[in-house]
Structure 1
């Protein structure tokens, strides 16, 4: 289970982390190419979430 600290609501600093796709050579059996990441995000439900996505090239879609 995951727990979100009440301090995040009142903090002046945003919660920031990076997540990158796992390289095809590093995939374990059962992991999906292009969908597996090194740092998965888990967000609370029934909340407003703002996501800022950047790319070094054309960003076609985000799922």
Structure 2
């Protein structure tokens, strides 16, 4: 899955434990990248922690 590009193996396993594969497949990659870049632009610390804990924000339009 494309989400692995943003997480290491351990972080990805945490995501898989928290969310179903079906749910993960519904995430739009372009939308994720846009929000990821916004957070990165403002130097949000612990960006990977945000992905793991609050993946839902990457579904926002």
Structure with bigger gyration radius = 1
Higher relative contact order (CA 8 A, sep 6+): 2
The TM-score with structure 2 as length reference comes to 0.22
TM-score by length of 1: 0.22
